[in-house]
Structure 1
Amino acid sequence: MAGVRWLILTAAVSGWWIQLILGTTCQEGKFGDTCSYSCHCTPPCNQTTGVCNGACDRGWFGGNGQTCQRENVAFNKTASSSATDYASKGWTADKVVDGNRDQDLLHNSCFHSHSLVPNPTWTVDLGQPYRIHDVRIYNRAGSIHLIRTAVLTLSNTSSSTPRVTCYTFPSDTAQTPDSVYDVTCDGTGRYFTITHSTELNLCEVEIYGMDNCS
């Protein structure tokens, strides 16, 4: 009989702990069953689903009814170019990863390669290898010729070779109303490079990885 009472008591205590655990509220800015995921938005997200009602923090994508779990791994990383003759005008490589999506070149928010430099490249060092899939490119407004035939490549070394091509813009790429292009660059690499046969005029490049448990 004593053994039965002990089993009943143990079951009751176990059930209390389960309810306590399931009813635990995550601290602000966290969500999920174990509160191990970060919201990446303000105001904080739904503590169960992770959905953000407002905009994502800078460097994160989604929000407004979605989660903010897609990280722009290029944000504020080190960028460089083979064609920097316009650096004196402020049209430097770092402008492409500063979070400013303004596509007006005269606002000094974009990178522009010199027209006399053949096959110009723009490269961002992500700091470590990332498995990526989606890339969003904010081209100079109305300048479709500066993105057509551009080649996107990935590499794990800073050397110009070997690079693996992950996407090439068709020569008949259509002009979009906002000059923003979402493309698939499926692969793993630390260095992401865009090359063009004539000129590059990039205002922002966002490269999306996934936040699993930050």
Structure 2
Amino acid sequence: PARTVGAVFDGNAFHPGHTARDHLGVYAAMAGCPDSRVAELLDLLGLAQAADRRTRGFSTGMRQRLSLATALLGDPRVLLLDEPSNGLDPEGMSWLRGLLRRLADEGRTVLVSSHVLHEVQQVVDDVVVIRRGELVAAGPWSRLTGPPTVLVTSPDATALAAALAAAAGSVEAAGPGRLRVRGLDAPRVADLAADHRLRVHELVTETTSLEQLFLDLTTEKAEAR
């Protein structure tokens, strides 16, 4: 089974008297993995210098790394990870994003359950949203968020709104001198403003965050809809 699916559900499943090397050695023996795999994973997960320390002294972040190393022992094609970034510092977060992206790019399926949505958003390909045990949305991240909008600030907002609407853009006021545009990307908005000799002070592409998508789909208002 360890060669098919690797799972991380509990970051504390270690004998406190074992070292990281001991722990991985036990699980490697059960999975039929060579000792060389233990050394390889200690290095990959950034635990080489702590390999002979007892796990009772490990920080939460180090426990997360050791759990992930355990899941990877059998070089599985599927990984199931529950809150893998728990306890990691900013450097550890960045390292984890790179590792998960690399594992996925190798052709593995990496399933991550997490409430740290701004972190997940940076590496996710597909999203599954569950509310009260029921599936409410699933699909590619780009499809669920829809096309981005463009926020433009201009002292010539009225004239610019007319030019953008004529070019098949959907335009709405977003405050004094500000417009929110749908249906046109930022380069097209900039080109139209230049063609009409209209001033632009700010041009920003807005995208829906994973956190906002989650809230839109799981709040009481969403449930009422």
Instruction: Compute the TM-score of the two structures, normalised by the length of structure 2.
Output: 0.24
Higher relative contact order by CA 8 Å / sep ≥ 6: 1 or 2? Answer: 1
- Which one has the bigger strand percentage? 1
- Which one has the bigger helix percentage? 2
Instruction: Compute the TM-score of the two structures, normalised by the length of structure 1.
Output: 0.25
